[in-house]
Structure 1
Amino acid sequence: MSGIDVDVVVVGAGLAGLRCAGALRRRGLDVLVLERSDAPGGRVRTDMIDGFRCDRGFQLINPSYPAIQRHVDLDALDLQVAGRGVRVVDADGGVHTLADPFRHPDLAAATVTSAASLRLLRPKAVVGAVRWALPAMGPVRRLQARPDAAVGDDWDRYGVDGPLRDSVLLPFLSGVLADADGATSDRYVRLVLRSFLRATPGVPADGMQALPDQLAASSDATLRYGVEVEGIDEAGSSVTVRTGDGQSTVARAVVVAGDAVDAAQLTGVDTSPMRGLATWWFAADPGLSDPFLRVSGSGGPLANTAVMSAIAPGYAPADRSLVQASAVLGDSDPVDESVVRSELARLWQTSTTGWELLTRNVIRRALPSQAPGLPVRRPVRVGERTVFAGDHRDTPSLQGAMVSGSRAARAVVGLL
């Protein structure tokens, strides 16, 4: 076709864009990926700071995700898994361990004792939690076909209340969903629960950046970094992609693989609102070695905290520890660092005065909002020659991003 520079332009080198580009190249199409940043990954990036690996926000890879199993070499990532469970810190500073007894049999007695101390074993709440969780064990299609509501409302309906809800479920899920109020789709939360039941999440030994780096290297597409896409113009059997450097590329199709806000701004097509998270990264003394996620069972400014170097030793120099602390962002600015340090001192039962703040990530667009009633899978083709890819088209997760990339590739092949 005369006047065509490339078969497909992919806007964005996040997980969705990279997965899409790789799938299209395997179909023999010529693919150009344009990324405004200086490296692949989108929201999945890692910064090296004084020998510490600081991911841009607290993120984990769940090896049970089908798209991860299908398209990622997990052995090459050398996934370092976290403790399978959570430590809950009560209002008096008591630390309670809730661990999977099959993965951590030495903590079985402590888990029973902690559950009793936290008053988690109230029959009504336990029965309600089991009834609520059971659909997550069945087929995904049946789960997706169930009526939907906000997870908080569904917990009300099942009688999931008291400490089990307020001290464990909501604090733990707030960091996973960027939702501190239980407003997320119950149908999606059950999918999240399903993935946690099937495997223990972790991080690559070299940081989360290793994931997009692997996808970029295997994509066989042409990648250009530092390029801002300013406009997309469809015209009959082609589409023109205009960039900030004054250049234009004519393609047979374009895949917009940015986040929900960028995709909407570039195309005018309505997408999902985004939820935010803030993460502080501290260099601490080497004494902290707990691989379990830690949450407050009595409320507070943080969603969770973890010693990343206890999960993946390569995240920190041998003589230091790396601690992350994450908070859900509302409309206001993140809490002050002094508040974070005070809460961390309570959660870790140690002074944080000497901890060095390495960096703070304020990510206003961390995850798309998965509102009740919103389909888990949404259309990717949004124009005659324009296709979407991104976790706003599927679930707000690494799985959703990669699945959307595969779906976008199939849609492009179909329209070409």
Structure 2
Amino acid sequence: MDKKDYKIHIIGAGLSGLIAAKVLEDKGYHPQIFEASDEVGGRIRTDEVDGYRLDRGFQVLLSEYPKVKQYLDLENLNVVELIPGAEIFKNGKISRIGDPTRDASLLFSSAFSGVASISDKWKIFRLYLDLKKKDLHEIFEEPETTTLDYLNKKGFSEKVIQNFFRPFFSGIFLEPELKTSSRMFRFVFKMFGEGKALIPKKGMGEIGRQLAEELIHTQIHFNSPVEKVSDSEIILKDGSRVQSHFTIIATEAAPLVDNLRNQQMPWNSCHCFYFTTRVERIKGRMIGLVADESAIINNIFYHSSIEKKVFIEHLISVTVVKPTELDKDALESRIRKELKELCDIEAEKLVGHYHIKQALPDIRPLQYEIMPTETRLNNRIFLAGDQLLNGSQNAAMLSGERAALGLIGVLEGGAVTAELTSEYL
């Protein structure tokens, strides 16, 4: 059978599914993707509302991710770089802290910031030097504890944990207690320390669009949610049946495969609100962190800073990671109150709200790597997605790549698998 005649299907057009399709195409196969929504990107999408671009949750792209370097064209994504630091809002005051080795403008504010003691700042620098010497595999082979336990054992003060580490990394892990694995903390700290935090000018959804535009022989079926996957058949929710030689499930597989029904993944959730405001309380492309313990707001970002224009109205996002029983209206009211009292920001028009119930997989234990053979559920079904490894864009792309290599290995034999694995590792 000719390679293009194999019926290879991918469930999900997120980063994992798109990378799996690219790897298959590169080796001569013509896969098809079934995507439940009307657009590619999965959890990384951008909507246009009233002339504003709204990412579905505040996210950044880290330039140092190995798979970002391999698969994305950052210049054509038209990315802008965030300032390597943060504005800290606490007790009605604002402090700026950052990395003066990469942005000299942060030297004075960081040196005299009350966010952290001199001892804490020295420990942060030592941690950066320690992680710079380690490769990613070493980090993910180290014993796991929680991020909070790790910071305490490293001797960081409660002051810097509460003022910086908790709000900053809660916004990344999407959980407020810093219970996420210390491996993930060290991985992300290293990636931020050695690379850049980037956002495409047209929003994070451009990442998926770029990957999709590179596919030549892949057909994507939008608005095609899948009900069930078996060895030789895919059943769509509209009752349609599709015969398949091989399937890559690039989303959570438990709801789709009978023998995985009781293995659903726990997820961290968040709320993201977008408001207009006439006040620019943060100068430049820098995240704002709310360090008051009683606050429900975790972080804010001025998305209007992405474009160098003079704005009458600025667009800000507000992220909430703490669990809450408040309904949307009550939550919006509390956010408006906290923005005014804690940040001196008057929120005006509500542009959009996202309650992202499955924002990040809550994975234990965490891994960096997965071999192509480990993605195989059986000889016909393969698994991909960041939930197999760690909650990152890098893990999503890596797992999609490995699932495609695993499938190709079954089709083409062990010698080819070894060749492909050495090429992509």
Q: TM-score, normalised by structure 1?
A: 0.90
Q: CA separation of 1:384/1:333 partners in 2, compared to 1, >3 Å: closer, same or farther?
A: farther
Over aligned residues, Cα RMSD in angstroms? 2.2
TM-superposed deviation, 1:135: 4.1
Partner residue, 2:304: 309
Structure 1 distance, partners of 2:298, 2:215, is 35
Structure 1 distance, partners of 2:349, 2:84, is 28
Aligned pairs for 1:24-35 within 5 A: 24-35=24-35
Do structure 1's residue 366 and structure 2's residue 371 form an aligned pair?
Answer: no
Structure 2 distance, partners of 1:194, 1:343, is 32
Q: Which moved more, 1:373-382 or 1:390-399?
A: 373-382
TM-superposed deviation, 1:340: 0.6
SS in 1 for 2:360: strand
Partner residue, 2:245: 252
Contact 1:274 1:365 survives alignment (8 Å):
yes
Q: Which moved more, 1:244-253 or 1:220-229?
A: 244-253
TM-superposed deviation, 1:130: 5.3
Gaps of 5+ in 1: none
Aligned pairs for 1:352-363 within 5 A: 352=347, 355-363=348-356
SS in 2 for 1:193: helix
Cα deviation, 1:110-132, whole Å, max 9, x if unaligned, reads: 21111xx23x2253x45655565
Aligned pairs for 1:8-407 within 5 A: 8-91=8-91, 93-114=92-113, 117-118=114-115, 120-121=116-117, 123=119, 125=120, 129=124, 134-137=129-132, 138-220=134-216, 221-234=218-231, 239-258=232-251, 260=252, 263-267=253-257, 268-269=259-260, 270=263, 272-285=265-278, 287=280, 290=283, 291-299=285-293, 300-313=295-308, 318-330=311-323, 332-333=325-326, 336-352=331-347, 355-371=348-364, 373-377=365-369, 379-407=374-402
Contact 1:272 1:369 survives alignment (8 Å):
yes
TM-superposed deviation, 1:5: 7.3
Contact 2:131 2:186 survives alignment (8 Å):
yes
Q: Which moved more, 1:78-87 or 1:100-109?
A: 100-109
Contact 1:203 1:312 survives alignment (8 Å):
no
Q: CA separation of 1:107/1:30 partners in 2, compared to 1, >3 Å: closer, same or farther?
A: closer
Structure 2 distance, partners of 1:242, 1:5, is 20
Cα deviation, 1:211-253, whole Å, max 9, x if unaligned, reads: 111111112210110111111121xxxx211112332222221
Contact 2:78 2:201 survives alignment (8 Å):
yes
State how many pairs are aligned.
Answer: 398
TM-superposed deviation, 1:358: 0.7
SS in 2 for 1:346: helix
Q: Which moved more, 1:379-388 or 1:78-87?
A: 379-388
Cα deviation, 1:27-47, whole Å, max 9, x if unaligned, reads: 111200000101111111111
Cα deviation, 1:151-175, whole Å, max 9, x if unaligned, reads: 1112222222321111101110001
What one-letter code is carried by the residue in structure 2 that aligns with 1:162?
Answer: E
Structure 2 distance, partners of 1:226, 1:374, is 32
TM-superposed deviation, 1:207: 1.0
Q: Which moved more, 1:137-146 or 1:206-215?
A: 137-146
What one-letter code is carried by the residue in structure 2 that aligns with 1:384?
Answer: N
Structure 2 distance, partners of 1:408, 1:331, is 37
Gaps of 5+ in 2: 412-425
Structure 1 distance, partners of 2:404, 2:315, is 39
SS in 2 for 1:325: strand
What one-letter code is carried by the residue in structure 1 that aligns with 2:23?
Answer: A
What one-letter code is carried by the residue in structure 1 that aligns with 2:269?
Answer: G
SS in 1 for 2:139: helix
What one-letter code is carried by the residue in structure 1 that aligns with 2:404?
Answer: A
Cα deviation, 1:170-200, whole Å, max 9, x if unaligned, reads: 1100010112111111011100001101122
Cα deviation, 1:317-361, whole Å, max 9, x if unaligned, reads: 954211000011537456611111112223432333xx1001100
What one-letter code is carried by the residue in structure 1 that aligns with 2:146?
Answer: A
Contact 2:366 2:389 survives alignment (8 Å):
no
Structure 2 distance, partners of 1:266, 1:158, is 43
Cα deviation, 1:247-287, whole Å, max 9, x if unaligned, reads: 222222101111x3xx2111243353111111001122274
What one-letter code is carried by the residue in structure 1 that aligns with 2:107?
Answer: A
Cα deviation, 1:282-303, whole Å, max 9, x if unaligned, reads: 1222745622111122221012
SS in 1 for 2:366: coil
Contact 2:363 2:389 survives alignment (8 Å):
no
Cα deviation, 1:7-57, whole Å, max 9, x if unaligned, reads: 310000011101111111111112000001011111111111111000111
